[in-house]
Chains A and B, each alone.
Chain A
Amino acid sequence: MATTATFLAPTGFCIHGWSAKRKVGRGRRPCSIKSQQQQQQLEQERDQQPTQSQASIPPPQQQQPLQEKARVQQQQQPSAQPMAKSKNMSREYGGQWLSCCTRHVRIYAAYIDPVTHAFDQTQMDKLTLILDPSDEFVWTPGACQQVYAYFQELVDHYEGAPLSEYTLRLIGSDLEHYIRKLLYDGEIKYNMNARVLNFSMGHPRVKFNSSQIQNV
């Protein structure tokens, strides 16, 4: 099981232009998006009102800091939805989802429950960030918070852009550049116990920080 940290960001993307089959829609509430999707017959049951309850599964030892952090995050943003189910993942919906995946940053335009990993694609007004699922770096809580804050800033910056993979890739790339800057500034470091140790953001160097390279 990967130790992941998930982060939800509410977004003001308009979904105009996402797909030729769906009507133009601009909505932050999931039910308004549903009514505009002509091709899918979605169930009418809605998720229960979110509560502030914590997950009942005790996470293993090393996962604890990250899981708690994810829960803390959710209390600040669109809150946890313990009754969320995987939706729109099956074949008649194409099994496709809007996403951008690189090695350290995975962004999905869906709601992914951090505990049950239910993947609800109908909630396209949210973006979920999964940070470093392969644990290439050692993440401190402060560094995680910085990445989340930067993610929120980027989402606000891109508000109004069409919700497409292109935009998600731009956001993902900016986040990767930011993670590289954190690495060069020493706030995170490579995890020497990682399963795959290939220093994907450059070999460790002596007396090096981000002011010494141009493109950060």
Chain B
Amino acid sequence: MQQDRLSDWLVKHDLVHRSLGFDCRGIETLQIKTEDWDSIAVISYVYGYNYLRSQCAYDVAPSGFLASVYHLTRIQYGIAKPEEVCIKVFAPRNNPRIPSVFWIWRSADFQERESYDMLGISYDNHPRLKRILMPESWIGWPLRKDYITPNFYEIQDAH
């Protein structure tokens, strides 16, 4: 079982975060505020998490927040069970802007584009933030909980 290592370390260095406990696989989960996320991303890279395993996003509640989730691990030679941490950044629905971590971990490139495409979270400083799954001229954010699919004939009715 992982200890609350990163959490303790952050507390020791007096950085604001909130621990969300452990998830089912024993990975500690932290919540970071949007304005702190820039610095804490760099700090976790420096701490040793050199691999962004995945970045995903989800819609918390119909008129609530949009969450952007980062799974970080440390890839190292010879370690069987690397340390992992999961960080969630909650963005307000009316202006969902989160600093991009593209410049720290390259794998965030397409994944942040997908979160932008599906939920509308715009990532500041992402070099090419545009739609990646939907056609470019699509209007609306498909995976939001309040999205209504337009009544396209070919989606619903064509045989």
Give the residues in chain B near A173, CB-CB below 8 Å. Answer: 150-154
CB < 8 Å neighbour of B135 from A102, A166, A170, A177: A166
Q: Does B13 contact A (CB under 8 A)?
A: no
Query: Complex Cα distance A200/B159, Å?
Result: 5
Q: Does A169 contact B (CB under 8 A)?
A: yes
Give the residues in chain A near B139, CB-CB below 8 Å. Answer: 166
Q: Does B95 contact A (CB under 8 A)?
A: no
Decide yes or no: A177 and B159 within 8 Å by CB, A166-B135, A166-B138, A166-B139 being known contacts: no
Q: Does B158 contact A (CB under 8 A)?
A: yes
Interface of A is mostly: helix
Please, which residue of chain B has its CB at the minimum distance from the CB of A178? B153
Residues of B33-71 at the interface with A, using a CB-CB cut-off of 8 Å, are: none
Residues of B129-159 at the interface with A, using a CB-CB cut-off of 8 Å, are: 135, 137-139, 150-154, 157-159
Give the residues in chain B near A177, CB-CB below 8 Å. Answer: 151, 153
Please, which residue of chain B has its CB at the minimum distance from the CB of A98? B137
Q: Does A87 contact B (CB under 8 A)?
A: no
Interface size on B, residues (CB 8 A): 12
Q: Quick check: A102 and B153 within 8 Å, CB to CB?
A: yes
Decide yes or no: A166 and B157 within 8 Å by CB, A173-B151, A173-B152 being known contacts: no
Please, which residue of chain B has its CB at the minimum distance from the CB of A176? B153
Give the residues in chain A near B151, CB-CB below 8 Å. Answer: 173, 177
Q: Does A165 contact B (CB under 8 A)?
A: yes
Residues of A162-214 at the interface with B, using a CB-CB cut-off of 8 Å, are: 162, 164-167, 169-170, 172-173, 176-177, 180, 198-201
Query: Complex Cα distance A102/B137, Å?
Result: 18
Q: Quick check: B158 and A169 within 8 Å, CB to CB?
A: no
> Min CB distance, B159 to chain A, in Å?
5
Residues of A139-180 at the interface with B, using a CB-CB cut-off of 8 Å, are: 162, 164-167, 169-170, 172-173, 176-177, 180
Decide yes or no: A180 and B137 within 8 Å by CB, A170-B150, A170-B152, A173-B151 being known contacts: no
Please, which residue of chain B has its CB at the minimum distance from the CB of A103? B158
Give the residues in chain B near A198, CB-CB below 8 Å. Answer: 159
Give the residues in chain B near A180, CB-CB below 8 Å. Answer: 157
Please, which residue of chain B has its CB at the minimum distance from the CB of A163? B137
Q: Quick check: A102 and B154 within 8 Å, CB to CB?
A: yes
> Min CB distance, A178 to chain B, in Å?
10
> Min CB distance, B150 to chain A, in Å?
6
Query: Complex Cα distance A200/B158, Å?
Result: 7
Give the residues in chain A near B135, CB-CB below 8 Å. Answer: 165-166
Query: Complex Cα distance A173/B153, Å?
Result: 5
Give the residues in chain A near B157, CB-CB below 8 Å. Answer: 176, 180, 201
Between A and B, 15 residue pairs with Cβ closer than 8 Å are A162-B137, A164-B137, A166-B138, A167-B137, A169-B152, A173-B150, A176-B153, A176-B154, A176-B158, A177-B153, A180-B157, A198-B159, A199-B159, A200-B158, A201-B157
Given contacts A169-B152, A176-B158, 11 further A-B contacts (CB under 8 A): A102-B154, A102-B158, A162-B137, A166-B135, A166-B138, A170-B152, A173-B153, A177-B153, A180-B157, A201-B157, A201-B159
B interface residues (Cβ-Cβ under 8 A, vs A)? 135, 137-139, 150-154, 157-159
